[in-house]
Structure 1
């Protein structure tokens, strides 16, 4: 059986760490990227017990040199599923007023755009040949239903929402630009998940979110590309 290779950003905690847990298998090679591997105790424990199938890389997604360094280190390695998981909220979940109209920190907004939009795009550019050389050729991006313009029902959370809406446009654009190389894109909404970002008041447990997204990814076969899907496999309008 052919090995499947998965690269995951933001793999040291939350959704990223659970992606690593649930993808670990004798037929899967995982490249787990995070800002500070030295402090990623749970991730390192998984890697230590993986028989070499989980490889941990230092990657601050907003640092071009670190992105390039990992891409260079993996030169010649095909990546079936590139999962752009790393991102920031750009606010404090239990203090939504600090991202509301009239009460915004523009420096935080700019940082949110850099991390949530520019960084995934940079990673796609750095790893496009790795993905194009694989069997599945899939780039996955964690988005949010809060970025849906069609379904928008309230205001606030401007940094997060605008960054993910911009990311959605990038995802759709890449589905067109990379079509000739066979590379496909998928935007996933993980649900409102009980993470540091989503808070413990959220409705969805981390393992359930990841299990659902894994099922969506597995069923997302060529030539499908450029779609926006919930973790429960229901479509979301852009």
Structure 2
């Protein structure tokens, strides 16, 4: 049965497509992004679907996050999807690391997903499905790293995987399932035009993982196609 999902970073790419697909399936979508007035595609989608509501949220603004949770107080969430993120500078090799940018990436990709779960935990605990999905990346897999470099983005995703694991343990007694999800190399603004798969294909796979989440696969790291990724 359809329920309610809250998604961050819905102005483009995976977040926008996730909003589209869940709305088409009859779900009520609480779609957030930093600047809704500039998110014209999201606005058009919401105008055509009464089951989409848009809220402003910068995921690194924890006061704003708390205010949104207060506004949504008493409304159960079935799925909470942490999609918003920040890639930071590209071509980050040894001797070419901008420490301030590193802090920004860690804030957006590691700390913010944790704060999202911490902040919306009461609504999630009141939901029927009780599922958290946190967008990670295969480049965060230590086992998969055979090329080096990428210190900033890699480390932020490795760290958020540890957050996912701890959350899955700490929230297990409440029946809340937490998954780390790799969307694949997707044709988005972040992934670029040479990426291997479309946002539609990626989201279709991610959606199935969220809908089928169970206690047995909580705390695990999955590719969009359902295959496991080593930590």
The equivalent position to 1:163 in structure 2, one of 139, 153, 156, is 156
1:107 matched to 2:105? The reply is no
Q: Distance in 2 between matches of 1:192 and 1:3?
A: 28
Q: Deviations over 1:137-180 (max 9, x none)?
A: 01100001100112211111111000000000000000011111
3-state secondary structure, aligned to 1:24: helix
In the alignment, structure 1 residue 121 sits paired with structure 2 residue 114: yes
CA distance in 1, matches of 2:39, 2:46: 10
| 1:132 counterpart residue number | 125
5+ residue gaps, structure 1, are: none
2:5 is paired with a residue whose SS is: strand
Which of 190, 197, 202 is the aligned partner of 1:204?
Answer: 197
What is the SS of the residue equivalent to 1:68? Answer: helix
**After the TM superposition, which residues 220-235 of structure 1 pair with which residues of structure 2 at under 5 Å, given as runs?**
220-235=213-228
> Could you say what secondary structure the match of 2:86 adopts?
coil
* Conserved? CA contact 2:183–2:223, under 8 Å: yes
The CA RMSD measured in Å over matched residues stands at 1.1
| C-alpha separation in 1, matches of 2:153 and 2:114 | 17
Deviating runs (4+, > 4 A) in structure 1?
none
TM-score between the two structures when normalised by the length of structure 2: 0.97
1:22 and 2:21 matched: yes
Which residues in structure 2 correspond to 1:19-168 (within 5 Å)? 19-25=18-24, 27-51=26-50, 53-92=51-90, 96=91, 99-168=92-161
In 2, distance between residues paired with 1:146 and 1:224?
A: 21
Residues 188 and 228 in structure 1, CA contact (< 8 A), matched pair in contact too: yes
CA distance in 1, matches of 2:60, 2:163: 17
Gaps of 5+ in 2: none
**Number of matched pairs:** 231
* Cα deviation, residue 219, structure 1: 2.1
TM-score (norm 1): 0.94
What is the CA-CA distance between 1:48 and the residue it aligns to?
1.2
**Cα contact 2:177–2:213 (8 A) shared by 1:** no
Q: How does 1:180-195 map to 2 (within 5 A)?
A: 180-195=173-188
Shift of 1:65: 1.4
Report the CA distance between 1:223 and its aligned residue: 4.5
Asked if the contact 1:91–1:157 (Cα under 8 Å) also holds between the matched residues in 2, the reply is no
Please list the CA deviations of residues 26-78 of structure 1 after superposition, one character each: whole Å capped at 9, or x if unmatched. Answer: 63100000000111111111111112x10000000000111111111100111
CA distance in 2, matches of 1:205, 1:133: 34
